[in-house]
């Protein structure tokens, strides 16, 4: 990073946007801003979050900006690292946990088609989870197909680490796209067919209660046995949720049990620049950890593929196919998360590339699955 502070200046790790700072009780004065990244002198930080009674301990020291960039955020409680197995189905649909909405923030810009929200939920530390797991949400009201019964559970990938966005193990975050139905004949929105749960979540307000089940899922757990492993992450839209959790664990949090030194490579496919999710966070990792993180975007409405068509994630994969195949041959893990419709195009691309390399894709895929290198969660 080219900028430098005056000699002896004390700085804290990058802590997010003005809006997020106001929400967590950080004061607005004595701010330093570089490259759209907010920095704060430690003397001005109220380290007591209003979501938790925990005071975070930061060491005050003189350091260069480069050192400050790389200093990670302390997390607790550290016993969340102790479990040998992931927590599974602690709360079931018949006896869900009542959690509280902390915040709902729109993630996308004005030119994005549709609305996607970042929703922080306070579970009080009672519904612990691991990165890559999902929560179930039961929206209020009755199931129209089963009068008198509650709605079915909707699953959402968790978009935070086990410590949550406030680093105290008491919250979880979801990345939710509001599902809206437009009548094909009139072109007008039909609220009666809109997504029940996504609209409930995106419309919720701080303090609202929600019914949680789970956590569930093992297929997308981040394998941490080798901290120097390569992880290739391919997401469309809100499918980026589990990868945000992985990347915060790798690059943002001071987790003594997992010191990542490998390569994380994220491919994110969305419609346009305004639709990018968590872009500032990912871009900051790119600056701070250029040897350990790569970030490629496929913007279908703004970029063209080599044939002049729209750029989708499979086109980006094809662009880097030689490198990806070599990494897979070397033991890399590959993850796919997003809408079901993403997989056929990706599989076709991988098959074509394999054949061009003189390999059988079916045999290769079988081997990847056998080696537990292949992780898919689509919905």
Tell me, yes or no, if 337 is annotated catalytic.
yes
Catalytic residue chosen out of the listed positions 91, 156, 246, 335: 156
Residue 360, CA distances (Å) to 74, 118, 350, 352, 367 in order:
46, 41, 10, 10, 11
Is residue 10 part of an annotated ligand binding site?
no
Catalytic residue chosen out of the listed positions 131, 285, 335, 377: 377
Is residue 377 part of an annotated ligand binding site?
yes
Tell me, yes or no, if 379 is annotated catalytic.
yes
Task: Determine the Cα angle at 254 with ends 45 and 289, to 5°.
Answer: 100
Catalytic residue chosen out of the listed positions 181, 182, 258, 379: 379
Tell me, yes or no, if 97 is annotated catalytic.
no
Is residue 268 part of an annotated ligand binding site?
no
Question: What DSSP designation does 286 have?
Answer: H
Is residue 177 part of an annotated ligand binding site?
yes
Is residue 300 part of an annotated ligand binding site?
yes
Task: Determine the Cα angle at 195 with ends 190 and 196, to 5°.
Answer: 110
Tokens for 80? Answer: 């969340």
Query: Strand, coil or helix: what is 38?
Result: strand
Q: Which helix (H) or strand (E) holds 243?
A: helix 241-251
Q: Which helix (H) or strand (E) holds 70?
A: helix 65-70
DSSP letter string, 92-114: BTTB-EEEEEEEEEE-S-TTSSS
Q: Hey, how many other C-beta atoms are within 10 angstroms of the C-beta on 227?
A: 12
Task: Identify the CA nearest to 327 among candidates 373, 365, 260.
Answer: 373
Task: Identify the CA nearest to 220 among candidates 129, 289, 301, 305.
Answer: 129
Tell me, yes or no, if 377 is annotated catalytic.
yes
Is residue 85 part of an annotated ligand binding site?
no
Q: Which residues contact 105 (CB under 8 A, 6 or more apart)?
A: 19, 20, 117, 118, 119
Tell me, yes or no, if 79 is annotated catalytic.
no
Is 262 within 8 Å of 333 (Cβ atoms)? no
Is residue 238 part of an annotated ligand binding site?
yes
Catalytic residue chosen out of the listed positions 157, 160, 275, 284: 157
DSSP letter string, 121-149: EE-TTSS---TT-EEEEE-SSB-TTSTTS
Is 195 within 8 Å of 178 (Cβ atoms)? yes
Stated length of the chain? 379
**Binding residue ranges for NADP(+):** 157, 177, 238, 300-301, 310, 338-339, 377
**Binding residue ranges:** 157, 177, 238, 300-301, 310, 338-339, 377
- Report, as residue numbers or ranges, the catalytic residues: 156-157, 337, 377, 379
């Amino acid at each position: 990073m080219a900028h430098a502070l005056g000699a002896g200046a004390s700085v804290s790790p990058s802590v997010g946007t003005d809006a997020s700072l106001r929400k967590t009780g950080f004061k607005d004065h004595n701010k330093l801003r570089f490259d759209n990244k907010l920095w704060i002198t430690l003397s001005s930080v109220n380290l007591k979050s209003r979501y938790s009674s925990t005071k975070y301990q930061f060491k005050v020291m003189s350091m260069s900006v480069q050192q400050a960039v790389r200093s990670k955020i302390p997390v607790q409680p550290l016993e969340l690292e102790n479990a040998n197995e992931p927590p599974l189905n602690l709360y079931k649909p018949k006896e869900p946990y009542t959690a509280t909405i902390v915040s709902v923030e729109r993630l996308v810009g004005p030119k994005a088609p549709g609305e996607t929200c970042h929703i922080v939920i306070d579970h009080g530390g009672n519904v612990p989870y691991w990165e890559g797991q999902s929560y179930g949400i039961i929206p209020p009201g009755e199931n129209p197909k089963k009068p008198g019964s509650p709605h079915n559970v909707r699953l959402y990938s968790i978009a935070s680490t086990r410590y949550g966005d406030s680093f105290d193990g008491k919250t979880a975050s979801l990345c939710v796209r509001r599902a809206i139905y437009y009548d094909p004949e009139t072109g007008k929105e039909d609220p009666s067919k809109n997504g029940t749960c996504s609209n409930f979540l995106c419309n919720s307000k701080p303090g609202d209660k929600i019914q949680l089940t789970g956590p569930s899922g093992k297929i997308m757990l981040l394998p941490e046995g080798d901290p120097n492993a390569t992880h290739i992450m391919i997401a469309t839209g809100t499918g980026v949720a589990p990868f945000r959790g992985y990347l915060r664990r790798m690059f943002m949090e001071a987790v003594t049990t997992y010191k990542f030194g490998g390569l994380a490579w994220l491919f994110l496919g969305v419609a346009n620049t305004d639709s990018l999710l968590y872009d500032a966070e990912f871009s900051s990792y790119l600056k701070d950890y250029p040897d350990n993180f790569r970030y490629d975007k496929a913007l279908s409405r703004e970029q063209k593929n080599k044939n002049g068509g729209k750029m989708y994630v499979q086109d980006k994969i094809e662009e880097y196919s030689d490198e990806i195949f070599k990494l897979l041959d070397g033991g890399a893990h590959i993850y796919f998360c997003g809408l079901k419709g993403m997989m056929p195009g990706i599989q076709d691309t991988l098959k074509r590339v394999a054949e061009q390399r003189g390999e059988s894709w079916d045999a290769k895929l079988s081997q990847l699955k056998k080696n537990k290198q292949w992780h898919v969660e689509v919905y």
